[in-house]
Amino acid sequence: MNDLSRKIESLLFLSNQPVTEMALAEACEVELEEIQGALAALEEEMAPGRRGILLRRVGGGFTLASDPAAEAAARRLLSKPRTPPLTQAQAETLAIVAYLQPVARPEIARIRGVSSESAVNSLAERGLIEEAGRSRFGASIYRTSALFEKVFGLDGLDALPDPSRFDPTPEDEREIRERLLAAGEQRAES
């Protein structure tokens, strides 16, 4: 496979729509005849039965498609339910656990200012946090899991963003400061 064919393969991979020969020629800054030759070479390289990806002519252009032999496996893989994004409550709870771990459930609720039972349970079910023991009062203590680091692409907890770089509004800063001071006082009393 030559350089132009590899470039075309990359462009088709990046495009979610069929790409015309003319659009490929403009993008690659070459003549139409060169694109046609590179597409013919790519089509031969990606013939059915040779690779898992095929070059298809669709809608007046070209696109990449998976080999029909992989259809059943692809349906099984892609039919799995997607994990929904974190809610605001879950994101807040996860941040508290990540930065203050190990942290007890009542402390999470004090910092957030609302009950965090549901958010903690959801994060534990997703495997992002895990129980790390019990406080002397019997409350569950939580820490982040290895999955948390994997999902957020961290090489360890020291790779968490520096919270001092957060730039809250004055009102947010006042509210956060009050919650943290209250939580700190209660933690010192415990």
Looking at residue 156, its pLDDT comes to 84
Q: Which pLDDT belongs to residue 187?
A: 63
- pLDDT tens-digit profile, the chain (190 residues): 689 999 999 999 999 889 999 999 999 999 999 999 999 999 999 888 889 999 998 888 999 999 888 989 988 888 876 778 889 899 999 999 999 999 999 999 999 888 889 999 999 999 999 999 998 889 999 999 988 888 888 888 888 888 777 767 778 777 777 777 776 676 666 5
Q: Which is nearest to 116 in space by CA: 91, 98, 99, 133?
A: 91
Q: Where are the domains of the chain?
A: 3-78, 88-189
Handedness of CA 158, 163, 166, 172 (dihedral sign): positive
Question: Quick one: which of 3, 30, 35, 34 has its CA closest to 20?
Answer: 35
Residues whose CB falls within 8 Å of the CB of residue 99, separated by 6 or more in sequence, listed in order:
160, 163
CA nearest 103: which of 184, 164, 179?
184
Q: Specify the pLDDT at position 85.
A: 85
For 3-78, the fitting CATH number among 1.10.287.3510, 1.10.10.60, 1.10.10.10, 1.10.150.20 is: 1.10.10.10
Contact predicate 11/24, CB 8 Å = yes
Q: Do domains 3-78 and 88-189 have the same CATH topology?
A: yes
pLDDT of residue 190: 57
Rounded-to-integer distance, Cα 155 and Cα 40, Å: 44
What is the residue type of 42? L
Q: How many beta carbons lie within 10 A of that of residue 50, not counting itself? A: 11
Question: Residues 6 or more apart from 63 whose CB is under 8 A from it?
Answer: 12, 15, 17, 18, 19, 55, 56
Task: Report the topology of domain 88-189.
Answer: Arc Repressor Mutant, subunit A (1.10.10)
Q: What angle do CA 95, 99, 100 make, to 5 degrees?
A: 110
Q: pTM of the prediction?
A: 0.50
At residue 145, the pLDDT reads 92
Q: How far apart are alpha carbons 62 and 27 in whole angstroms?
A: 14
